[in-house]
Structures are given as C-alpha cells and as structure tokens.
C-alpha cells in the first residue's frame, strides 16, 4: 500500500456498464473516483440500461475480450493495482477469465503482503433464484480461495457454502464454512431475508466477519432502517464503498495494511474489526443516498411522464419504465453523502 | 432547461472508453459528473489504454451498435437529454449514426427552444494530419448545421471550413465561413499552432466566437501560459468542462437559456459573450489540472519503473510506456480545480 504517496491508489473495477442509469461500473467507477481512487474500468457489458427495465439493448464482452483488454494493460505496465473490485461478469468463462486476472495480480505482488486486495461480489442471483447460468456457481467457487473479501447476499452465500440459511444460526454456520473451506479472510453478507430477532421487519441486517488465524469466524451485525423502494445498483454501491472504506480502516491500524489480506490480530473482537468500521460507514452513506433517491422520485417520474401522452399513464408497461428510471440511484447530487456521511449505524455482536 | 429543478441536468456523452487512464469518456464522464450532471455514457470503443502508447487492445462499436444502444434508451423514455457532448467516433458510418441521434434530439425538442444543446468535438486529426479515414470529414460537414457549439482544433477548423489557417486573419476568416456556411452558433478553436502577436511562444491561444443574428462572427481570444508536456485527453477535458460552463453562463443571463442555441443579443460584445465567460473558467480549471499532473509525473514514473527491471530504463520503447502513463491526466485528486478553479484568464478582443 502506498499510503505515504500523494498519488491516488489504483483499483481495477470489473463490472457491467450501462449508458443511462446507475448500476455496475456506472456506480462503482464514480463512487471510487469520488473517494479518491484512480479507477481502471473494465466493462463486461455495454447495455443501454439495466435489465430491471425488462427491455434493453447492447452487447456483452466475451471471455477472450476481457482477457485481451487485461493483456493490453499488462504490456504497457498499467497493471500496478492496489485493489480489484469485481461485480457482474457474463457467463462462467468470463468469471474464470476475471479470476485469472486476480490470480495473476496476487502472484505479481506475493512478496509484498497487503499490497493487493481483491473484493469479490459473486453476482449470481437473489431471493432463491439464480439469474446466471448454473455453471457460474462452480466457476466462482474455484476463485474463492484467492479473494480477500467477498460480498454475497444470503442466496449467494447459500450457493457458495452449501448451507441452507434460514436464521442467524445457519447464517453464521455458512460464514464459518466459507472461512474454513475456502480460506476467505473477510466476508459480508449484504442482505438477509429472515427477520433479525429483536428488530422489526422494517429493518435490514448486514452480517460481517473477519476470520482469526485458525479460520474462526468473528461475526458482527449492523441493523439499519430499510427504505421501502426497489432500487437497482445498491449492491454495486456497497461494493465500491466497502472497497474504499476497508482500505481506510486497515490503514488506520498501525502495520495492518502490510499484512496479507489485512487480517486483524486474534484478540480483536468482532465489533472492533476494521471490517466493522468500514461497513458502518458504508451503510451510513448508502442510507443517505437511498433516502435522497426516494425523495427525488416523484419529480423524476413527473419529468418523464411529461414526455409521454396523457393516456400512457394507464399503461402498466410504460409505468414500469417510468418507475424504473425514477428509482435509479441519485449519485452526482449526493457527493457529500458518499464522501462524508453524517449519520451512523453501529456494529453489534451476534 | 430545467434550472428550476433540483434534479441534475441530463447529458449524453458519446466518446471512446479506455480501461486505464484518462481520455475520451473516461475524462468526460467524471468531469461532467463532478460538475453535477447525470451522465449517460455511450462508449464508442473499449480500449485497454489510449493509442498514444502506440500499443493497445480492445474493440470498437459499429455504427449499428451505436444506433441499437440509442434505440434502447428511446424505447424506455431515457432520451430526455438537456445536452449532448460528442467526441471520438470510429469511422464515417459511426459519425453519421451519432449525427442521427443528435438530429432526433433536436427534432424532439424543437418546440422548446434552448432545451437541448449539442457540443460537437469533430475529432479528426491534428498538426496537419488526419488520424481518421478521409470520408469522416464530409460526414462531419453534413452534421455541422445541427451543432450548437463545435470545438475543432486549428487543423480540424481548416478541414471543415476549407480555409488554410496561417495567422489570426485567416483563422477569423475560417470562423466566419463556419458561421456563414453551416449556421453554427458557437465555435471555439481549441488550439492554434501559429504564434499570437504580442505573446511569447510559451503561451497558447484559444479563439471563440458566437455569431450574431446575421451570422457575423464575434471573435475573442484567451491567451494562457502553456505547460511544456505532451498530455492526452486535454481536448476531452475541454469538451466536458465547456459543456458545463456554457450552460452555467447561459443560465446567468435572464431569458437566454430559453432561446434557441442560447444566442446572445447582437449588441453583446465578443468579450462579454457567455461563451467567453465559459471558456475563461474552462481554461482556469485546465491549467490547474495540467500543472498538478506535471508535478505528479516524477512520482508516477518512479512507481512504474519500480515494476520493471533496472536495465529496462535504457529501453526507449519501455520508457515511452512509462512516460505515457505518467502523463495521464490527474483527475480524482483535482476535484476542486475542476469545480472551483482559483486562477483566472481573461478573454480579449481580436
């Protein structure tokens, strides 16, 4: 880590690109740049808009194209990355190609512990359903031992751990399996669908853990009020923010950032982990951005309806497009929320 | 123009994308986002790095792919743009496809004067040489009547006006031809290669003009100290900044932003034009960003050389890669220079 340098840290962000709206790299690149990263953006698709609209145009990059782009960076010495963040990748071959990039970077910096850190968001599905081909699951499993931090949602954690998650006990079991079996240092389960005991259903829970030297989980949870809207791109915003904040939190602990995977001493309690500090800050930013997005929705909807004919308001399909557009994350008007969130949520023990 | 709205203005940015480094949309998107625009980014290529390195990998979008992406936006009512900024487009067919998008937007908003404004950077060549196919020149000429502001360099202004530019007189003649023949409201010649009388060669000159109602040029110049380095992406940074600043300057004049092409009254002097105000602010930002980029170059070079073998320092080809990387614009560390430049240059009469 070049924390003594005035130069921005370099991150490779691999995810989808949409022309209009905010998901994938369209979120990650801006958020990381706003937080001071020099971002190399490798776009795995270019679509007109996100697929939640139910219609879109555009093209996917093949695994070969992804590999070619990366080889292009390598040949000109542009592969000196401090971090890597990977999101949606189309198909198992693409996942494997991106994994090869990450493995290469791990190997390149193997003599500089802590220099390189990979944040892997294993985008596969949600709410009990895969939205990628079944062979993507084993492709991700094969890469897990190389990741420093993974960000599955509850369903993805089930797919990777083969533990059915129904409550907090089975969730912590799944985390323990992921630490044990794949040697993954840091894990955050970004959304859980069961109700957390002691909290009303209007709250959401994020669970995190950094393993000890003998791969024991140190789980913490952060509970925060949910905003009752369906947003896309929240996972991508989480990934970009945690990439920045985990680095900041590791840098705040003397010596930690030059230790492999920024693994805390065994006597650090779950709620004192840098990962907990990082996640707290991420959720504060996200809550503010989502609240502001919700507040802007009526104006965005009215502006869009003005482009249509009055009778279109009764057309459910068109209403879906108008609503999808209004639910796009408001990012550029929320720089302060991203950089210096003013609210806070606290990690607690499980 | 929705200046009474809290929502960010929407701009469609059409240009190249590079994974690493800062040219094309990689510059324009971040600069426009930093200045508060909701940016739709249509990437005309995805390359590993800019071509100044002399080696790169990646793919170009076909004209059909560009059209498909735009049709994707249209079908979901995502084409409600306030502005459009177009930069590098691969090939004459691509230029024509992008022109069709711009014409469509002009037509869509024809009953709302001033609602939509197209900034066209006719990227074709520099220093007496085309770096696009010859048929790109007539393709751009056919689009000029639809542009609100064009940003050619001296060579591109020659190609479009068919006037050989050797001094200030022939330059102003070329501007007059562009106003007259193509009805282009605003023109900025972003770089001139002759020495401006009364200024040492260490200074650069930008020339701008907004036509009167009878298409008379109102030329002004801004002279500013040059920074002795070869940077890529400066034209793209200029384009993004002027897109934001011309809107700001037009909004500052009561009623102007609801007039077609934001054309000032005939009695406004050249140096009082909103275009002059905008260009002054753009050059202030650019000068600060370029000075900071130059100052960071030695550290970037050292960091990259550390990845190579000591004997590589004598290899001219490798030195070129290392230098190209060090000359990449430093953007994320220069947010304040982009948003609130602290220096100033003044427009003067020609």
Q: For residue A4, what are the contacts with CB-CB under 8 A and spacing of at least 6? A: none
- Residue-level pLDDT at A1: 39
Alpha-carbon distance of A208 to A263, in angstroms, equals 14
Task: Give how far B226 is from chain A: nearest CA, Å.
Answer: 24
Provide the chain A residues 108-147 that lie in CB contact (below 8 A) with chain B. Answer: none
H/E element holding B46?
A: strand B38-47
Provide the chain B residues 299-318 that lie in CB contact (below 8 A) with chain A. Answer: 299-300, 303-304, 307-308, 318
- Residue-level pLDDT at A3: 44
- The ipTM is 0.96
Report whether pLDDT(B3) > 60: no
Tell whether B41 lies on the interface with A, counting CB pairs under 8 A: yes
Provide the chain A residues 150-169 that lie in CB contact (below 8 A) with chain B. Answer: none
Residue A176 and residue A350 in contact, taking contact as beta carbons nearer than 8 Å? no
**What's the average pLDDT block by block, 10 residues per block, for chain A (350 residues)?**
70 98 98 98 98 97 98 97 96 98 96 97 95 96 98 98 96 98 98 79 92 98 89 96 98 97 98 98 97 96 93 95 97 96 93
Report whether pLDDT(B144) > 80: yes
Report whether pLDDT(B139) > 70: yes
Report whether pLDDT(B147) > 60: yes
- Residue-level pLDDT at B5: 67
Hey, which bits of B108-242 come out as E strands?
117-120, 125-126, 129-130, 149-150, 186-189, 203-210, 219-225
Instruction: Tell me how far the alpha carbon of residue B276 is from its chain's centroid.
Output: 15
- B154-161 vs B136-143: helix axis angle to the nearest 10? 80
- Residue-level pLDDT at A228: 79
DSSP B195: P
Give the range among A237-241, B35-39, B341-345 with minimum mean pLDDT.
B341-345
Question: What digits encode the pLDDT tens for the residues B78-125?
Answer: 999 999 999 999 899 999 999 999 999 999 999 999 999 999 999 999
Average pLDDT for residues B35-43, to the nearest whole number?
98
Tell whether A54 lies on the interface with B, counting CB pairs under 8 A: no
Alpha-carbon distance of A114 to B103, in angstroms, equals 52
Q: Are strands A117-120 and B10-18 parallel, antiparallel or unpaired?
A: unpaired
- Residue-level pLDDT at B137: 98
Report whether pLDDT(B177) > 50: yes
Alpha-carbon distance of A177 to A165, in angstroms, equals 12
Hey, which bits of chain A come out as E strands?
10-18, 38-47, 58-60, 83-86, 117-120, 125-126, 129-130, 149-150, 186-189, 203-210, 219-225, 348-349
Tell whether A59 lies on the interface with B, counting CB pairs under 8 A: yes
pLDDT-derived band of residue B1, with 50, 70 and 90 as boundaries? very low
Q: For B42, phi and psi rounded to 5 degrees? A: -100, 110
Tell whether A19 lies on the interface with B, counting CB pairs under 8 A: yes
- Contact state of B57 with A71 under an 8 Å Cβ cutoff: yes
Tell whether B292 lies on the interface with A, counting CB pairs under 8 A: no
Tell which of B57, B83, B315 to mutate to test the A interface (max A CBs under 10 Å).
B57
- Residue-level pLDDT at B199: 75
pLDDT-derived band of residue B230, with 50, 70 and 90 as boundaries? confident
- Contact state of B61 with A46 under an 8 Å Cβ cutoff: yes
Question: Of A5, A42, A330, which is closest to B299 when you measure between CB atoms?
Answer: A5
In chain B, pLDDT over 70 holds for what percent of residues?
99
Mean pLDDT of chain B, nearest integer: 95
Residue A3 and residue A251 in contact, taking contact as beta carbons nearer than 8 Å? yes
Alpha-carbon distance of B215 to B179, in angstroms, equals 6
The half-sphere exposure of B56 on its side-chain side, counting CA atoms within 13 A, is 20
- Contact state of A78 with B325 under an 8 Å Cβ cutoff: yes
Alpha-carbon distance of B142 to B197, in angstroms, equals 34
Report whether pLDDT(B197) > 80: no
Residues of chain B with Cβ-Cβ distance to A46 below 8 Å are 43, 46, 61, 69
Task: Give how far A170 is from chain B: nearest CA, Å.
Answer: 40
- Contact state of B48 with A296 under an 8 Å Cβ cutoff: no
Residues of chain A with Cβ-Cβ distance to B49 below 8 Å are 72-73, 76, 78
Report whether pLDDT(B30) > 50: yes
Tell which of B48, B81, B294 to mutate to test the A interface (max A CBs under 10 Å).
B48
Instruction: Tell me how far the alpha carbon of residue B212 is from its chain's centroid.
Output: 23
Q: Which residue is closest to A64 within chain B, CA to CA?
A: B58
Alpha-carbon distance of B9 to B2, in angstroms, equals 7
How many other C-beta atoms can be found within 10 angstroms of the C-beta atom of residue B216?
12
Q: Do you know the residue count of chain B?
A: 350
Question: Of A33, A65, A299, which is closest to B5 when you measure between CB atoms?
Answer: A299
Question: Of B5, B59, B304, which is closest to A77 when you measure between CB atoms?
Answer: B304
**Cα distances (angstroms) measured from residue B283 to each of A334, B84, B100, B242, B262:** 27, 21, 31, 9, 21
- Residue-level pLDDT at A202: 81
Task: Give how far A7 is from chain B: nearest CA, Å.
Answer: 8
Q: CA nearest A84: which of A18, A186, A12, A163?
A: A12
Question: What digits encode the pLDDT tens for the residues B292-333?
Answer: 999 999 999 999 999 899 999 999 999 999 999 999 999 999
């Amino acid at each position: 880590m070049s924390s003594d340098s005035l130069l921005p840290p370099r991150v490779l962000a691999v995810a989808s690109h949409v022309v209009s709206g905010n998901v994938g790299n369209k979120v990650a690149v801006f958020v990381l740049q706003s937080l001071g990263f020099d971002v190399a953006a490798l776009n795995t698709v270019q679509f007109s808009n996100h697929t939640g609209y139910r219609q879109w145009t555009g093209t996917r990059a093949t695994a070969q194209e992804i590999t070619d782009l990366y080889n292009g960076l390598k040949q000109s010495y542009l592969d000196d990355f401090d971090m890597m963040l990977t999101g949606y990748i189309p198909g198992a071959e693409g996942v494997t190609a991106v994994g090869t990039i990450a493995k290469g970077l791990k190997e390149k910096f193997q003599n500089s512990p802590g220099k390189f850190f990979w944040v892997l968001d294993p985008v596969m599905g949600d709410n009990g359903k895969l939205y990628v081909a079944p062979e993507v699951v084993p492709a991700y499993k094969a890469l897990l031992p190389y990741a420093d931090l993974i960000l599955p949602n509850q369903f993805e954690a089930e797919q990777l751990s083969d533990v059915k998650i129904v409550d907090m006990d089975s969730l912590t079991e799944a985390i323990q399996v992921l630490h044990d079996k794949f040697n993954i240092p840091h894990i955050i389960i970004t959304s859980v669908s069961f109700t957390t005991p002691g909290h009303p259903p209007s709250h959401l829970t994020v669970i995190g853990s950094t393993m000890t030297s003998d791969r024991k989980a140190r789980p913490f949870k952060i509970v925060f009020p949910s905003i009752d809207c369906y947003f896309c791109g929240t996972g991508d915003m989480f990934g970009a923010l945690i990439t920045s904040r985990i680095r900041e939190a590791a840098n705040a602990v003397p010596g930690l950032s030059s230790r492999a995977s920024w693994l805390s001493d065994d006597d650090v309690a779950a709620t004192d982990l840098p990962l907990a500090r990082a996640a707290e800050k991420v959720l504060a930013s996200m809550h503010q951005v989502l609240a502001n997005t919700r507040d802007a929705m009526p104006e965005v909807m009215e502006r869009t309806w003005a482009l249509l004919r009055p009778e279109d308001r009764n057309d459910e399909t068109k209403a879906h497009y108008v609503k999808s557009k209004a639910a796009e994350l408001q990012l550029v008007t929320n720089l302060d929320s991203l950089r210096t969130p003013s609210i806070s949520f606290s990690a607690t023990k499980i």
